[in-house]
Amino acid sequence: MPNLPLSTVLSLSNAQIVIEIAATVAFAMSGLLEAARKRLDAIGVVMVAGLTAFGGGTLRDVLLDRRPFFWVEHSNWLWLLLAVCACAMAFLRAQHFAPTERAMQWPDALGLGLFTATGTQIALDASMPAIVAVVMGMMTAAFGGVLRDIVCNEIPRAFSDHQPYAICAFVGAWVIVVSEALQAPDWLVLTLGAGTTVLLRMLAIRTGWKLPGWRA
């Protein structure tokens, strides 16, 4: 970390924590909504929400041989997950699904950007090649949703709805790799990578961009 004023470092750290919390809640809620649609019981709801929120980061830690896993090291995330699931099961009803899902798109986009940035940076810090770091960043951000859909017996949405999602993380991860190679300050690398991913995802949501589908 460069020699920044303490107030700036603290504000960056606080902003990252806030976005991580919003992203984790958004990812957990997307899993929770899918589990509710499938009429799973309370255990199933918690498991699917946890897979969505923590699946990508856990896969990254397994592949990079990092111990303890990030949710083991920071066990407060588990309490947050349980609290979100308990509140949702107590107050969320079927008529709330659609507006809740729309509201989650924006914190989900922020989470996509931040988890892409942190996943890529962790891989670079482990001296992984650039392409491996990019794939790690993309998996950290997107694989939780893939696990959610597989467990709920659906074709993963990231592969089938044609709206850019993982590809936004792919581009943002390359921004981080290039910024790191140019020896930009750590805070700027994180901001540029996460910002690029978030911007692309928000543009995709706003404009309805679609990736081309396979033509048989």
pLDDT, average across residues 163-190: 89
Report residue 12's pLDDT band, with 50, 70 and 90 as the boundaries: low
In tens, the pLDDT along 144-154 reads 888 888 888 88
Report residue 9's pLDDT band, with 50, 70 and 90 as the boundaries: very low
Indicate whether 68 belongs to any domain: yes
User: Is there a contact between 80 and 25 (Cβ–Cβ < 8 Å)?
Assistant: yes
The packing angle between helices 105-125 and 6-37, to 10°, is 120
Q: Is the pLDDT of residue 129 over 60?
A: yes
Instruction: List the alpha helices (DSSP H) in the chain.
Output: 6-37, 42-63, 70-73, 76-91, 97-103, 105-125, 130-151, 157-160, 166-181, 186-207
Please tell me the least confidently modeled range out of 43-57, 94-108, 157-171.
Answer: 94-108
| Measured distance CA(178)–CA(193) in Å, rounded | 10
Indicate whether 25 belongs to any domain: yes
| Measured distance CA(163)–CA(51) in Å, rounded | 22
Indicate whether 28 belongs to any domain: yes
Indicate whether 214 belongs to any domain: no
Q: Which amino acid is at 27?
A: F
Please tell me the least confidently modeled range out of 65-69, 126-130, 193-197.
Answer: 65-69
Domain count along the chain:
1
Q: Is the pLDDT of residue 212 over 80?
A: no
Could you tell me the residue range of the domain that residue 60 belongs to? 11-207
User: Is there a contact between 85 and 45 (Cβ–Cβ < 8 Å)?
Assistant: yes
Indicate whether 212 belongs to any domain: no
In tens, the pLDDT along 90-104 reads 877 766 666 666 666
In tens, the pLDDT along 15-53 reads 566 666 777 777 888 888 888 888 888 888 889 888 888
Q: Is the pLDDT of residue 14 over 70?
A: no
Indicate whether 5 belongs to any domain: no
Indicate whether 90 belongs to any domain: yes
Residue 199: what pLDDT? 92
